[in-house]
Chain A
Amino acid sequence: MTTVARDPVTAADPEPPPTKPAAGPSRHRFRAAVGFAFGAALLFAVAPLMLSDFRLSLLAKYLCVAMVAVGIGLAWGRGGMLALGQGVFFGLGGYAMAMHLKLADAGPGNMPDFMLLYGQLDELPLWWRPFASPWFALPATVLLPMAVAFVLGSLVFRRRVRGAYFAILSQALAAAMVILLIGQQGTTGGTNGLTDIQGFFGYDLDDPVNQRMVYFIIAGTLLALLALTRHLMQSRYGELLVAVRDSEERVRFLGYDPATVKLVAYVVAAGMAGLAGALFVPAVGIISPALIGIVPSIEFVIGVAIGGRATLLGPVLGAVAVAWARTALSERFPGTWTYLQGLLFVVVVAFLPGGLASLIGLARRRDREPADADPPAGLFARLRRRREAA
């Protein structure tokens, strides 16, 4: 592979050239650049031209779900943490944004409409006040979920809670958050959530042009998160994360603390979910407990599982496909979608644990590409390996 020698970074490196370079990093980078350009063209040109305003705003919503999925792909696919409660972080981001927008809608010094309606409060609660400032609210949409994930992860990973126990714990957290929100109706809007959001930093959200702008922001953010995740996956940290997923004990004997390794991926995934929640609010105009509880938390994961949890794009495509299928099918067969979704999930998990993306990976491995970031071995890959071993 002569491409390696031309790579400026490798050339400047004092280390000796690799004894046997696989697919050169510059080739990888080239393929990624083409992929990103293609994705950008699709999101920024094709979709806005082809889709009606209504469909485009639906796509904006799906792309928010996809952002959550990217984070789950990192935490679950690469780190082995089945994060079944990402709705919590999605909700924290969403509520932080919605609180700011409600306060901005109400105008300085005024209380949001629902507080006046319920009439339990004479003045704005103390914990609402900082959200009036965009300088607090915007960073909070990301940092708040990350902080919660940090505290939770520190407690949980050090005690070596994993697998199903971790999944159940995160699920319980989602349930607890919903109960809390509903219970505090006077300050959180209860079951209704924070609704009827009109403006977005001075722009009227009813205006289709501004809706389109929101869509572009979301599409751009998703691409940026994908770039970040791709970098993380290909860094040494990404390799270490896979090692922790496959054999936590072994990593510990190499001198690492696996709890820290997992914590980073979990916190990053929480930040992504928070950002997704924050952007979901202007796209849809509402955030409510029903959007962040147990059911949506599971749906986030289903999309990831179907798409292919250990890959970069699998979770995105899976999340968008599932969300789209849900809209399309539940328009026509309202009662059956839930069953279909469950069936799809079972089929994929049972027969294609690497998700649909592993089909591509399988095809690629056929041309003897040394896969450096493999999805967890799917049924076919396992069968094939067994056949080779025989």
Chain B
Amino acid sequence: MTEQLHGLYVRDLRVSFDGFTAVDGVSLDVAPGDIRFLIGPNGAGKTTLVDAVTGLVRATGSVRFGDRELLGRPVHRISRLGVGRTFQTSTVFEELTVLQNLDIAAGARRGWATLLRRRHGTPDEVAEALEIIGLASRADQLAGTLAHGQKQWLEIGMLLVQDARLLLLDEPVAGMSHEERDATGQLLEKVSRDRTVVVIEHDMDFLRRFARTVTVLHAGKVLSEGTVAQVQADPRVQEVYLGHPVDAGTAPTPTEA
């Protein structure tokens, strides 16, 4: 894990579907090693932004990870540049075991000679990931039989063995218990030591505890950006996103993106 950290640099990103503009000129910088939370009301364009970064939808503008342009590359190429993501609904391979899931995630760079042979034992990076995500005792269990929270962790583990340097997580704690949320947050803090993390999340409590920086999207545009305190104090955020002022006593401290 000696590779250097990279940041994510988005410039004037636009995504349109049949005349509807889901992402409308978004520019944002995520510093290397940051844990950036993307928030915003439904339809703000959060998931579409991640879709554009990972190559799932066409977009114009520029998305650089480190010094590499991502736009215009197919999904699997972007993935090989170290960009990994999870989805709102967990998408582990349910008919395979936890170990097999991780082993497949670790293997995109394997040649055919390795692929056509049988797996012997557990590769180092897989064993390490099993420890980090706390599923070592369930390595041989079918992923489909895991609890919801465990599936989400398995997904994060798959990003780790994939050696993703940029993690894009779409609502990772949705449906989790309090303990599971805490564990997930600590997991994110741990992995952000040598990775850049972007999280889409609705859970405000989780955000307050684990976000380092926050970007608020609204109607496809960046509404506000800064630390948790800065964003919470932004009157436009209070108005648009929360619908009403959270704390009337706080003086407005507008922050520009």
Q: Which A positions have Cβ atoms within 8 angstroms of B?
A: 9-10, 13, 15-22, 25, 231-232, 234-237, 239-240, 242-243, 246-247, 249-257, 370-372, 374, 376-377, 385, 388
Complex partner residue of A18 from B79, B116, B121, B158, CB under 8 angstroms:
B121
Task: Say if the beta carbon of B136 comes within 8 Å of chain A.
Answer: yes
Listed from nearest, the 9 A-B pairs whose CB atoms lie closest are A255-B108, A255-B79, A15-B121, A22-B140, A237-B115, A255-B80, A250-B91, A243-B93, A252-B75
Q: Which residue of B lies closest to A261 (CB)?
A: B115
Cβ contacts under 8 Å, A13 to chain B: 120-121
Which of B4-12, B59-67, B123-131, B220-228 is found at the contact surface with chain A? B123-131
Query: Are A236 and B76 closer than 8 Å at their CB atoms?
Result: no
B105 within 8 A of A: yes
User: Residue B178 at the A interface, CB < 8 A?
Assistant: no
B162 within 8 A of A: yes
**B121 in complex: contacting residue of A10, A257, A371, CB < 8 Å:** A10
Given A10-B120, A22-B140, A25-B120, verify A16-B97 contact (CB < 8 Å).
Answer: no
Q: What residues of chain A lie closer than 8 Å to B93, measured between beta carbons?
A: 242-243, 246-247, 250
Given contacts A232-B116, A255-B108, contact A247 B91 (CB under 8 A): yes
B158 touches which of A20, A252, A254 (Cβ 8 Å):
A254
B24, CB-defined interface residue at 8 Å: no
Q: By the criterion CB–CB under 8 Å, are B130 and A236 in contact? A: no
Contact A370 B137 (CB under 8 A): no
Contact B120 A9 (CB under 8 A): yes
**Is the CB–CB distance between B108 and A242 below 8 Å?**
no
> Is the pair B79, A236 in contact by a Cβ cutoff of 8 Å?
no
Q: A15 contacts B124, CB within 8 Å?
A: yes
Give the size category of B's interface with A.
Answer: 35 or more
Contacts of B84 in A (CB 8 A): 253-254
Q: In whole angstroms, what is the CA distance A228 to B31 when docked? A: 50
Q: Mark B139-180, 1 if CB is under 8 A from A, else 0.
A: 111101100000000000010001000000000000000000
Point out the residues of chain B lying under 8 angstroms from A237, CB to CB: 112, 115-116
Query: Could you tell me if B120 and A15 are in contact, using CB atoms closer than 8 angstroms?
Result: yes
Question: Which A residues lie within 8 Å of B54 (CB)?
Answer: 253
A239-B122 contact in complex given A247-B91, A253-B85, A254-B104, C-beta closer than 8 Å: no
Contact of B137 among A17, A20, A243, A255 (CB under 8 A): A20
The residue on A at minimum CB distance from B54 is: A253
- Could you say which residues of chain A place their CB within 8 Å of the CB of B80? 255
On chain B, the residues within 8 Å of A240 by CB distance are 104, 107, 115
Chain B stretch 100-119: residues in CB contact (< 8 A) with chain A: 100-101, 103-105, 107-110, 112, 114-119
Q: How far is the CB of B10 from chain A (nearest CB, A)?
A: 19
Contact check: which of A236, A250, A377 meets B110 at CB < 8 Å?
Answer: A236
Closest chain A residue to B97, Cβ basis = A372
Q: Is B94 an interface residue (CB 8 A)?
A: yes
Q: Is B96 an interface residue (CB 8 A)?
A: yes
Given contacts A13-B121, A242-B96, A253-B75, 17 further A-B contacts (CB under 8 A): A10-B120, A15-B120, A18-B139, A19-B139, A236-B114, A239-B100, A239-B103, A250-B92, A251-B104, A253-B54, A253-B84, A255-B80, A257-B76, A370-B140, A370-B141, A372-B100, A388-B145
Among A9, A256, A257, A372, residue most surrounded by chain B Cβ atoms (within 10 Å) = A256
Query: In the bound complex, do residue B76 and residue A243 qualify as a contact, i.e. CB atoms below 8 Å apart?
Result: no
Q: Smallest CB-CB separation from A374: which chain B residue?
A: B95
B57, chain A: closest CB distance, angstroms: 13
Instruction: Give every chain B residue within 8 A of A236 (Cβ-Cβ).
Output: 103-104, 107, 110, 114-119
- A257–B76 Cα distance when bound, in Å, is 6
Which residue, A10, A250, A251, A376, has most C-beta atoms of chain B within 10 A?
Answer: A250
Q: What are the residues of chain A within 8 A of B114 when measuring CB–CB?
A: 236
Q: What's the nearest-Cβ distance from chain A to residue B154, in Å?
A: 12
- The verdict on A252 contacting B137 (CB below 8 Å), with A18-B122, A374-B95 known, is no
A253 contacts which chain B residues (CB < 8 A)?
54, 75-76, 79, 84-85
Complex CA distance for A10 and B120, rounded to whole angstroms: 6
Chain A residues within an 8 Å CB radius of B162: 254-255
The answer to whether B97 and A370 touch across the interface, beta carbons within 8 angstroms, is yes
A20 partner residues in chain B, CB cutoff 8 A: 136-137, 139-140
Closest to B86 in A: A253
Q: Say yes or no: A385 contacts B145, CB within 8 Å.
A: yes
The reply to whether B96 and A256 form a contact with Cβ atoms under 8 Å apart is: no
Within 8 A of A (CB), among B42-96: 54, 74-76, 79-80, 84-85, 87, 91-96
Q: How far is the CA of A95 from the CA of B122 in the complex (A)?
A: 47
The minimal Cβ–Cβ distance linking B76 to chain A, given in whole angstroms, is: 5
B99's nearest neighbour on chain A, judged by CB, is: A18
- Chain B residues, Cβ within 8 Å of A388: 145
Q: Which of A10, A13, A243 has the largest count of B CB atoms less than 10 A from its CB?
A: A243
Query: Do A16 and B127 form a contact, CB below 8 Å, given A239-B100, A254-B108?
Result: yes
Query: In the bound complex, what is the Cα–Cα distance between A251 and B92 (angstroms)?
Result: 10
Which chain B residues border A25 with CB–CB below 8 Å? 118, 120
Say how far B159's CB is from chain A's closest CB, in angstroms. Answer: 9
Residue of A at shortest CB range from B110?
A236
- Check B119–A242 contact: CB distance below 8 A: no
Contact present for B120 and A256 (CB under 8 Å):
no
Contact B97 A242 (CB under 8 A): no
Q: Chain A contacts of B122 at CB under 8 A?
A: 15-16, 18-19
